[in-house]
Amino acid sequence: MDSHNIREGMPFTMNSAYETQDARKFMTTKPVLRSIRAYHSDNRWLSAWLPGYEIKRRNPVYDYEHTRLNLPDDLRNESLKWIAQAALLPMVTWLLFIIPAIALRSSMPAVVDLVGQIVIFFILLGLANTLSLDLIAAVAGLDSIKQDVQKGRWGLLRLSPLGMRRIVKAKHAIAQLSIWRSTCFMIGFRGALLGIIPMHMLVLQSQFGEFSLSSVINLDFPTIQNSATLAIVASFAYCMVGITWILEPLWRVRALTAASLIAAGTTKEPSVRGLVAMRYVLIFEVQTLMGFALAVGLLYLGIVGKIALALILATFMPVLVYNACIRNHRRWLAEAETRLANFET
């Protein structure tokens, strides 16, 4: 719409909204495109994992929100540093305890038990970190929409030529970026655990003869008797499940930040929005926990019982987990678009 239409009495236009300083700042078309250029200047695969990579052209909502996050210029390399830092702490802690346990195994059996307890503690800490990441992801988009409503920007956005799809994509990317460091921490921590668990089992098996894993379930299935074949098949299945487990926080955050936008567009009541967000967290948790629990159970049964079928099924479980995450992400993002398009302030 042009200024002539405003003078002729058009009810609301983008140009009339520019009369306020806040609106001009919000919808600025100045080249605040540092992040998008950084994403697309290098086509290496890692850039595609960063939030906002799917924003292919200028989006003033994304530009404005991005400048408020104070993110590093080279987010890709900083993300790798955050992941490495998160992986360093559990790995170094494990080494500090396991080395004395190996050196003094005849006189320090208590150290062996302590190391096992530390590994269990790390696993429980990983579960707690996952739950905390779920909670902050489920509310990541609420504050952004709330501020737009309070400052009178939401009506401007709904009437802007951007379209609700582009607005939702921008809000979704910003919600992910606001908790991106926590996401990288979770990826690094899980990566460390993925390395510690098999190494810990290997050390116990090789250095402490009294240690052994045994299966309490005896099933009449074809088994893999050749140890080399079992090691290859089990390693492949473990890597498939493990890599999926490491990457799952990315899919988790994408889905739950989309759910936070659904909650933001459901009602203006904070308590109700919180309940809506928690409902989506529960749905996601049930689906992913069931998938990973089944995968771990099949891995254990396949490795300890040498059951080929269990290892084969464990290898395909990551596909089911991935499909569930992506399906939730796409469905919830589409639902967020519908909800926010009809959201009245």
Query: Tell me: the pLDDT tens digits for 167-181?
Result: 999 999 999 999 999
Residue 326 CA: distances (Å) to CA of 50, 77, 256, 321, 322: 16, 26, 11, 9, 6
Phi, psi of 61 (to 5 degrees): -65, -45
- Can you give the pTM of this predicted structure? 0.80
Q: Are 23 and 159 in contact (CB under 8 A)?
A: no
Phi, psi of 281 (to 5 degrees): -60, -45
User: 307: helix, coil or strand?
Assistant: strand
Q: Are 277 and 142 in contact (CB under 8 A)?
A: yes
Predicted confidence (pLDDT) per residue in 54-66, tens digit: 787 788 888 888 8
| DSSP letter (8 states) at residue 74 | S
Mean pLDDT score across all residues of the chain: 79
Predicted confidence (pLDDT) per residue in 37-56, tens digit: 444 444 466 677 888 887 87
Q: How far apart are CA 109 and CA 125, in angstroms?
A: 25
Closest CA to 265 of 343, 345, 171: 343
Q: What is the number of alpha carbons within 13 Å of residue 14 lying toward its C-beta?
A: 14
Q: What residue segments make up the domains of the chain, in order of their start?
A: 213-345
- Between residues 328 and 40, the one the model is more confident about: 328
Q: What is the pLDDT of residue 87?
A: 94
Q: Which of 45-54, 136-145, 181-190 has the lowest mean pLDDT?
A: 45-54
Predicted confidence (pLDDT) per residue in 283-321, tens digit: 998 989 889 999 999 998 888 888 888 899 999 999 999
> Is the pLDDT reported for residue 325 higher than 50?
yes
Phi, psi of 2 (to 5 degrees): -105, 175
- What tokens appear for 249 in the block? 């926080």
User: 324: helix, coil or strand?
Assistant: helix
> Is the pLDDT reported for residue 7 higher than 60?
no
> Is the pLDDT reported for residue 82 higher than 90?
yes
